[in-house]
Amino acid sequence: MHAAVVRTTISSTMVRLRNRQLAIQKMSTDPAYHYPPDLLNLLVDAVALLVRSKEAVVDFFRSAGVPSSVLCPWLERVRQDRENIRKTEITRAVLCHVNEMGDNGLALRREIIKRVVEWEDFSSCYPDKQLAAQVLSRTFAGW
Distance of CA 37 to the CA centre of its chain: 12
pTM for the whole thing? 0.74
For residues 53 and 48, what is the distance between their CA atoms, to the nearest angstrom? 9
pLDDT digits (tens, 9 = 90+) for 79-100: 999 999 999 999 999 999 999 8
Is residue 109 within 8 A of residue 35, CB to CB? The reply is yes
pLDDT digits (tens, 9 = 90+) for 100-141: 888 888 899 999 999 999 998 898 889 999 889 888 888 876
